[in-house]
Structure 1
């Protein structure tokens, strides 16, 4: 039973490591704060969750030990990382941090221009 637990946990941990590596590469290579935030939050969240699930499965299958700390870590990462990235991007947009020149469309521009006109009137 221990060998199967190690294989299953190893697969989850390896996949999580690869996803986190891709996230790190995205943080370095992407052009602006908005796309970097996407790479830093979405894919790293998936990578960390995969590693934590692999660890949890290993302890449940191999040792028969269910860790509530790992469950709380999974829930905490799942809830906070995407929300933090959204708030950071929203603050950057409201601070007029420019999008990259290759951005296809700015869907919020019209909305915020309309809001500023209404406030000024």
Structure 2
């Protein structure tokens, strides 16, 4: 009963963060502000969803599921790297702020 409540809370929190991150991606005006939606909120939301899946799968099968663990590690490693590369590309293309001397 408590395990189901924890999983339900993680799913709701994950879905809320994913929704907020998606709205931020669509509504924020600047490319650098838009990076915060997918890299911060959506990563946290998907992380909560994957952790909920990990707990559920582990409770049903009785052993730790390495698939969900690998997904969460991959997610938390690739999101900041991709955001960094997008920001560098935007600066190089002249879409960033400042005097244009960066890069």
User: 1:40 is matched with which residue?
Assistant: 38
Which residue is 1:87 aligned to? 85
TM-score after normalising by structure 2: 0.88
Distance 1:110 1:33, change over 3 A: closer
Shift of 1:111: 6.2
Give structure 2 stretches of 5+ with no counterpart: none
Residue in 2 that maps onto 1:68: 66
Structure with the bigger RCO (C-alpha within 8 Å, sep 6+) is 1
Give every structure 1 segment of 4 or more consecutive aligned residues whose post-TM-superposition deviation is greater than 4 Å.
none
TM-score w.r.t. the length of structure 1 is 0.76
Q: How does 1:1-121 map to 2 (within 5 A)?
A: 3-99=1-97, 106=98, 109=99, 112=102
Structure with the greater alpha carbon radius of gyration: 1
Aligned residues: 103
